[in-house]
Structure 1
Amino acid sequence: MEQKRIPILNEKFDVNIFLQVFKRSIILSIIIFFAAIVGVYVYLRYTLPIYKSSSIIQLKNEGTTANKVLNLTTAVEEINSMQIIELIRSKEFLKRTFNKLPLKISYFSQGTFLENELYKANPFSIDYKNTKRNLYNVPIYVSFDKNGDSNIKYKTNNTNYEKTIIKNQWTDINGLEIKIEVTDIDAIRTQINKIKNDSYYFIINDTESVYKKYSSQLEVSLLNQEANTIQISFKDNNAQKTSEIVNTIAEEFIKYDLEKKKESSQQILNFIENQNNLIYQQLDSIEGLLMQFGITHQIRNDKDSKETGPERYSILLSKIEEELDNVEIDISNLKQILDEISKTPNIKVYDLISLLPSKNDGILISLLNQMQNLINQRDLYLNNQTQNSFQIKVIEKQIETQKQTIIDLIKSNYNRALDKKSTLTKKLVEYKLMVYGNSSAMDLDYLKIKRLYTINEEFYNKLLEKKAEYLISQAGSISQNTILENSVIPTTPISPIKTTVILLFLIVALVINIILLIVRYLLFNEITSPDDIRVYSQVPVAGIVPLYKTKLPVSQLLVDIKPNSVFSEAFRSVRSSLEFIKNIKESKTIAISSTISGEGKTFIALNLGGIYSFQGKKTILIDLDLRKPRFHLCFNTDNSKGLSTILIGKNKVHDCIKKSKIANLDYITAGPIPPNPSELTAGNEILNVINELKQIYDVIIIDTPPLGLVTDALNIFKSCDYPIYVVKAHYSKRSFLYNLNHLLLEKHIENLSVVVNGIDIEKSRYGGYNYGYGYGYGNSKYHTDYYDESITKKKKNIFTKIISHL
């Protein structure tokens, strides 16, 4: 017959076992939660806080007040928020911004565990010049004396340097000229008294290191696309620094935008100035030519001749030709715009705006901008919707309607331009006849020179007018971008958040406790009740012994104290069960063993012997555990002689028999511990001793060594009439049943039975007639006097108890 498999993990859920595991885990759970609380305190105490500041900018691109006053109608370009974001993130812009802040020198204060940056709170200041490259980004430690003089230490190229610095004096240190000024000597003295003298240090940062350090802490994001707002955020351990950096970035962006606008205006002004100079030179040259021509041909150049001669028509002719050229350009541009809108599906609105006539185009610009806004809105919705969605179709219809309105307006302007061209062409022919029909060759030459002068003069005057306009526009230039929200110094860090950290640590502690509870439940393999014996073994259970809750230093004889208690009745039940197993009228032998020590075999032997003696049976107890004897401690007697001295022939059996305080109950102690216990118990001498005692006693109870550890007494255990195997509830492991089954199935030990020791019948269902032979006095007034087997151990301290729960 094969042994039953004993599972390593609990395969079924048992409420009682779970509650037992939970109870055992309470101390460990408290320790884990306490460790979590300590962890929270340490984390919050020694973690540098991280602060975050933010500033919001709204992007605009409207005409300036000066442009509106001057009626300068220009195309409004689409605002590209992502380009602005990349500009703010750009290396050159950030370097420009960081140079406006006190970031070239970083001051630090070292504590016992942490170090803090003293941003604008440093009790001393550093001034330097002629810094060598190898001194950038190197920690330079400073210690002060009572007078404010200092000593600096630093390491570069694996070489240590040290120098004494007199306050407010320049000192050269390996190419570094440095001056230290103490601004708060009291703060320095306080720091020295609390920590140590060299707890301050500073770092001279180069531009590149400042950019690398702080650009990674910067975040620029699109806050609202429709409102064209962007958010600038910065994170750092210093709250004041975060606020100043984001505010400076926002202010510098406004300045940068204004500078670029003024730069554009200045380029236009430079172009106008160059053209003015060129045209002025041409006018001067033509004027000289006119004077020379008039002197040579004696032509008068006065107001009367200009108004009455062909020269008057020549001036009108020039104006008509100029106006006709402008009309032809307008016609060409309007035709191109019309073709683009009518034939091109993907319209580039801002390219079309640049083709509009320079006058009277405000309505068209407004309509084109409205259509561009609709196109942008459609593209935005297409990110989340399909082309066939209702919202997209509505916008498409609006775009088509807007496009048709623009086409109708352009056609109207185009037709008016054609009519104007026809009228101007007729006038041009008429004036040419007036100028060239009745004039001599000399007059024609003069008119040509005069006409050239007039054209350049008009162009020169227009340039002067435009120059004045742009000067006014430049004077009124302001950035249209607005800082909607300036940052204030944050008072609460974004990390660590106290409530979040506490909650997180407690959740982790709870999860650990749950995992440990589940693992301990799954790995729980202790014998808890006789049911475990019944499930995994065929060895019958002779009885159960209640848990005695009073702690005892050693096993004791207790059935004589309260013979009518549940405790005593339990041993009577065991006695009765043995009689049912095998009824022997003559002298009987009982061997009691277990898997390991501490399961209660000695206690079972003592009290079972007491029960037999109460019955009037002459009973003797033999301590066969020669390696770890117990009887002399239980009976508080001498152990100088006993079974070991009998087996070696030093003493006779009757010399070693001792009387107990109970009538009919004698015992033999183990005697001195021999060097060869296995040899002594393996011989025939022990059988002779038992046979000799059978002649005197009715019951012989032998306390054998644990069979799970040694096999010294296996033959004695096998040869006895009643071999009893003891297991202890919540102490013995289920795997111990392998040894029990081995004795039954392989060693073929007859009449083998099990006694389950340490059952807490207050929490168990085995307090009545549910189990055993004649065992059912659960309502006795002595039901609290149970037994808890204890062997001699040193008193456990709290840490040993905690470890025992693991």
Structure 2
Amino acid sequence: MEEEFDISESKSQSSFDVKALLVRILSYWKLFLLFIGIGIFIVYQQNIRTQQSYRLGTQISVEEESNPLFTSNTSLIFNWGGVSGKVQTMINALSSRSIHEKVVDNLEFYTTYLKQSRFRKDDIYTYAPFKVNLIPKSNQLLGIPIKITMLENDTFELSVTFESTPVKTQNFSDKSKQNIDVPIGEYRNQFRLGELITTPYVNGIIELLEGRRFLEGEEYFVQFNDFHRTVSEYRAKLSIKNPKNSAILNLSMVDVNKPKIVDYLNETVKVLSEDQLNRKNQFVTNTINFIDEQLARVKSQLTLNADSLNSYRQENKIFNLNDQSIAINNKLSILEAERDNIKLKLGYYASLKKYLIASNLFTDVPAPAVAGIEDVNILNNISKINALSVQKSKYSSTVRKDATIFADIDRQIEGLKQVLLENISSASNGLNRILLSTNSKIAIEDAKIRKLPKAQQKLFDIQRQYALSEQTYNAFLVKRGEADIIKSASVSDILVIDPAKDTGATPIDLKLSSRYLFAVLGGMLIPLLLAFVITFFDNKLHNPQVLEGLSNIPLLGVVGKNNLENNLAVHLKPKSTIAEAFRSIRSSLQYFYKKNNLEGAKTLMITSSVSGEGKTFCSINIATVFAMSGKKTVLVGLDLRKPKIFGDFDIENDIGVVNYLIGQKDLAEVIQETKVANLDVITSGPIPPNPSELLMLEEMDVLIKMLKESYDYIVLDTPPIGLVSDALELIDYVDATIYVVRQDYTKKGMITLIKNKYEKGEIKNLSFIYNGYNQKGKYGYGYGYGYSYGYGYGYGSYGNGYNDDDSNKASLISRIKSVFKKKF
């Protein structure tokens, strides 16, 4: 039964070949050029299609700006009513959605003006010659460019292409959205500049900007974007940095349109400053509103009292009071003013108590100064509770609702509220006691008035009501004026150090020229990785050094690549480097035979791992060099499964070894002469069904003995040992065995297989022949074709001085290199 060897599990024992990797990398120079070219082309295409991004910034300072008109004599106190001025509060405000909504709304950044370039529609922003003024509370088409083409006589065409239905629209007044059905295809209509446009897709007026020209045939696009998405995009783009926790804030933004960055940053700072100032003046504003309400009420009462006084005087012909009445009136007016002031305070406390109990927000606390409240504890606590409420309001736009910071603020507010309620209760009790005393004094003066004549009493009463209303009205006017002065004199705590400005900003993206460097590196990386992977998983022999490193079996010789169509390389070109290589092998074999004291006929078996490694080629040429030395040589074709040697000698394979072994022919009948002197050939003959069994017959012993009697050298061409066991049946008949390996073909695992057999003693006197060596190939390491050693011969070179080998004809470049090597 035929024995087959599984070579799939054989593994190379050699380490990673760095030198082979370097040689392979050099051999891939065409791939390097190809991938580098592809990389450069890709980068070029990206460069001409990519818009560069820019980063611009602005710098602001957060300061505690006090009111220059606020003094200790000012009867209105507002210093606790504004934003705390802390930097973190400003950072939270800048991060809030409300700020960005105001900025996008103010700048109308939901409207984008575009112009078609070579590869895309570019955002031209302020460079558009026209502006779209939208009709309030009207819907606009979202996300689809609307084309505007200028025609003659200030007429333009508005067109839009619909690829699907329905489409989305948005009302930018209340930010509501609506889906509408549209006909698939293109919508076109003509309008004049300044004319009202009312369509389901756009509603507004397109006006030509001052100093701009809209030339006939020019095309622009307008696109309306979702408001909330636009806000989110710009909110994400804004970068806020607070260097070293100082009062400085650096705001920056990255975008492809520099004018947009400038406007957005400056508008953001403007909106922040206005909001901060409004919060700072919130207490003043609340006070002014309260005073205005009181003035309106008192003014109405004052008018009624004035009308009543004038009517009574005219009807009763009494225009002045006597001295006693005047004295009583003055004293009573003072007491009543004190009583009204007490009632005003009590009313404020009652209102404040109700507000504290019923409200959750404390940013609209009534101003205590209006009621003349001077209690330091109440003033301080109102200031603290108001500041905490403002802080909570700011955090609500940037911090999650369930954050612990809200619970902490609520606990602080609740504690201050309880303290305030106690203060209010205590102050109210004190005021009620003072009110009782004042009412008693007023009652005494009223008793004096009742002693006056009736006419005088009536006039006194009307005049006293008028004077009281006038006094109250004047007092409110004074406080109103103080509040206006303080509000107008207030300044924002935001100080702009450097406004955003385009001073020639350079792109922050990788420079276009620098990208080509990465293209070159990327183009080199692919072939490098390919070379590494192929080298790492490569299990074939590529040079004699690798073969030597895999086993201790001697390397008999290195044979160059045969470029002839015939295997008779030595016979046809006896002066070639291949012929010299086989002569070197012959010398090594003769040395081996002599060293081992082998007399008489010598036998040599030539095998290999698998078919295609040049076993037959080596067999023919080794037999030829022996014959050319004058020795009678016979080449026996024992590859009974796949016979080959007959074709190169132009002989037939009708009869051969098989016929002899089965007894059909005698030895003389199977021997055939060749055109090579002293060389006979015995072909394998017809392919038998049982090759291995034939080689084990006694007739094989007889054949070898008879050949030894007639020939000096017997060369056996056997089947590949890696495929079948036929060659192993012939080991006992031979003096030496040659194992042929081929460059870039034989797998390293097969070397391990034959090495194991050699070490086990299954094969003796084994040597390698390295076949198909290509000095100009990818893995040559400087071996000449005549390289040969083994059994004491050492190195020998026979590659120089032979001119009939085509492969040895050096080109001009090769000769120049050779000269330089010799010189240097």
Q: Shared fold by TM > 0.5?
A: yes
How far did 1:657 drift? 2.2
- 1:221: which partner in 2? 240
In 1: Cα distance, 2:221 partner to 2:79 partner: 53
Is the 8 Å Cα contact of residues 95 and 211 (structure 1) preserved in structure 2? no
- SS state of the match for residue 268, structure 2? helix
* Partner of residue 237 from structure 1, selected from 256, 271, 274: 256
How far did 1:465 drift? 1.6
- 1:545: which partner in 2? 557
- SS state of the match for residue 590, structure 1? strand
Is the 8 Å Cα contact of residues 11 and 752 (structure 2) preserved in structure 1? no
* Partner of residue 62 from structure 1, selected from 54, 60, 65: 65
How far did 1:476 drift? 5.1
Matching of residue 495 in structure 1 with residue 509 in structure 2 = yes
Is the 8 Å Cα contact of residues 557 and 585 (structure 2) preserved in structure 1? yes
In 2: Cα distance, 1:87 partner to 1:222 partner: 11
* CA distance 1:138–1:428, change in 2 (3 Å): closer
* CA distance 1:202–1:10, change in 2 (3 Å): farther
* Partner of residue 109 from structure 1, selected from 97, 112, 116: 116
In 1: Cα distance, 2:710 partner to 2:217 partner: 96
Is the 8 Å Cα contact of residues 137 and 203 (structure 1) preserved in structure 2? no
- 1:468: which partner in 2? 481
Is the 8 Å Cα contact of residues 113 and 222 (structure 2) preserved in structure 1? yes
In 2: Cα distance, 1:654 partner to 1:598 partner: 26
Is the 8 Å Cα contact of residues 609 and 619 (structure 1) preserved in structure 2? yes
- 1:486: which partner in 2? 499
- 1:573: which partner in 2? 588
* CA distance 1:174–1:578, change in 2 (3 Å): farther
* CA distance 1:655–1:125, change in 2 (3 Å): farther
Counterpart code for 1:465? V
In 1: Cα distance, 2:20 partner to 2:342 partner: 107
How far did 1:225 drift? 8.0
How far did 1:233 drift? 3.8
* CA distance 1:727–1:265, change in 2 (3 Å): same
- SS state of the match for residue 107, structure 1? strand
- SS state of the match for residue 772, structure 1? coil
- 1:250: which partner in 2? 269
* CA distance 1:20–1:631, change in 2 (3 Å): farther
In 2: Cα distance, 1:240 partner to 1:289 partner: 67
How far did 1:599 drift? 3.7
* CA distance 1:553–1:83, change in 2 (3 Å): farther
Q: Which segment is superposed worse, 234-243 or 446-455?
A: 446-455
- 1:274: which partner in 2? 293
TM-score, scaled to structure 2: 0.63
In 1: Cα distance, 2:38 partner to 2:44 partner: 10
* CA distance 1:53–1:594, change in 2 (3 Å): same
* CA distance 1:278–1:534, change in 2 (3 Å): closer
- 1:592: which partner in 2? 606
* Partner of residue 618 from structure 1, selected from 622, 632, 642: 632
Is the 8 Å Cα contact of residues 569 and 777 (structure 1) preserved in structure 2? no
- 2:741: which partner in 1? 727
- SS state of the match for residue 54, structure 1? strand
In 2: Cα distance, 1:628 partner to 1:153 partner: 80
In 2: Cα distance, 1:548 partner to 1:732 partner: 15
Matching of residue 657 in structure 1 with residue 673 in structure 2 = yes
- SS state of the match for residue 94, structure 1? helix
In 2: Cα distance, 1:596 partner to 1:692 partner: 30
How far did 1:735 drift? 0.8
Matches within 5 A, 1:330-349: none
Matching of residue 136 in structure 1 with residue 142 in structure 2 = yes
How far did 1:495 drift? 3.0
* CA distance 1:725–1:455, change in 2 (3 Å): same
How far did 1:154 drift? 1.5
In 1: Cα distance, 2:228 partner to 2:282 partner: 31
* CA distance 1:718–1:600, change in 2 (3 Å): farther
Counterpart code for 1:595? S
Give a deviation string over 1:2-26, Cα, whole Å, max 9, x none: x999997777756xx3122222123
In 2: Cα distance, 1:647 partner to 1:737 partner: 30
* CA distance 1:530–1:286, change in 2 (3 Å): closer
How far did 1:461 drift? 0.8
Counterpart code for 2:24? R
In 1: Cα distance, 2:562 partner to 2:547 partner: 26
- 2:401: which partner in 1? none
How far did 1:119 drift? 3.7
In 2: Cα distance, 1:153 partner to 1:321 partner: 74
How far did 1:775 drift? 1.0
Structure 2 residue runs without a partner (length 5+): 166-182, 349-361, 392-426, 808-824
Q: Which segment is superposed worse, 558-567 or 27-36?
A: 558-567
In 2: Cα distance, 1:301 partner to 1:171 partner: 69
How far did 1:107 drift? 2.6
How far did 1:616 drift? 3.6
Matching of residue 75 in structure 1 with residue 82 in structure 2 = no
Matching of residue 774 in structure 1 with residue 792 in structure 2 = yes
Give a deviation string over 1:678-737, Cα, whole Å, max 9, x none: 659679699698777655432132444544456777756775553321124665322113
Counterpart code for 1:725? Y
Counterpart code for 2:633? T
Matches within 5 A, 1:428-443: 441-442=451-452
* CA distance 1:222–1:318, change in 2 (3 Å): farther
* CA distance 1:60–1:326, change in 2 (3 Å): farther
Counterpart code for 2:260? K
Counterpart code for 1:162? E
Matches within 5 A, 1:86-235: 86=93, 89-90=96-97, 93-94=100-101, 97-98=104-105, 100-101=107-108, 103-109=110-116, 111=118, 114-121=120-127, 135-139=141-145, 152=159, 154-157=161-164, 160-163=184-187, 165=189, 168=192, 175-176=200-201, 202=221, 204-205=223-224, 207-208=226-227, 211=230, 214-215=233-234, 217-224=236-243, 227-235=246-254
Give a deviation string over 1:417-472, Cα, whole Å, max 9, x none: 9xxx9xx99x9999999969988755997888776655443221111122233444
- 1:18: which partner in 2? 18
In 2: Cα distance, 1:130 partner to 1:436 partner: 64
Q: Which segment is superposed worse, 5-14 or 243-252?
A: 5-14
Counterpart code for 2:674? K
- 2:55: which partner in 1? 52
- 2:168: which partner in 1? none
Counterpart code for 2:254? K
Counterpart code for 1:642? E
Q: Which segment is superposed worse, 291-300 or 201-210?
A: 291-300
- SS state of the match for residue 25, structure 1? helix
Size of the alignment, in residue pairs? Answer: 694
* CA distance 1:697–1:513, change in 2 (3 Å): same
How far did 1:248 drift? 3.4
Matches within 5 A, 1:666-677: 666=679, 668=681, 677=687
* CA distance 1:464–1:513, change in 2 (3 Å): same
In 1: Cα distance, 2:801 partner to 2:451 partner: 148
Is the 8 Å Cα contact of residues 37 and 523 (structure 2) preserved in structure 1? no
Matches within 5 A, 1:367-406: none
How far did 1:245 drift? 3.0
* Partner of residue 601 from structure 1, selected from 608, 615, 621: 615
In 2: Cα distance, 1:82 partner to 1:677 partner: 98
- 1:795: which partner in 2? none
* CA distance 1:622–1:228, change in 2 (3 Å): same
* CA distance 1:501–1:682, change in 2 (3 Å): same
Counterpart code for 1:486? P
Give a deviation string over 1:603-623, Cα, whole Å, max 9, x none: 533453354346542224456
Is the 8 Å Cα contact of residues 551 and 788 (structure 1) preserved in structure 2? no
- SS state of the match for residue 591, structure 1? strand
In 2: Cα distance, 1:13 partner to 1:743 partner: 22
Q: Which segment is superposed worse, 709-718 or 43-52?
A: 709-718
TM-score, scaled to structure 1: 0.64
* CA distance 1:205–1:741, change in 2 (3 Å): same
Give a deviation string over 1:64-93, Cα, whole Å, max 9, x none: 556679956531541254466446642585
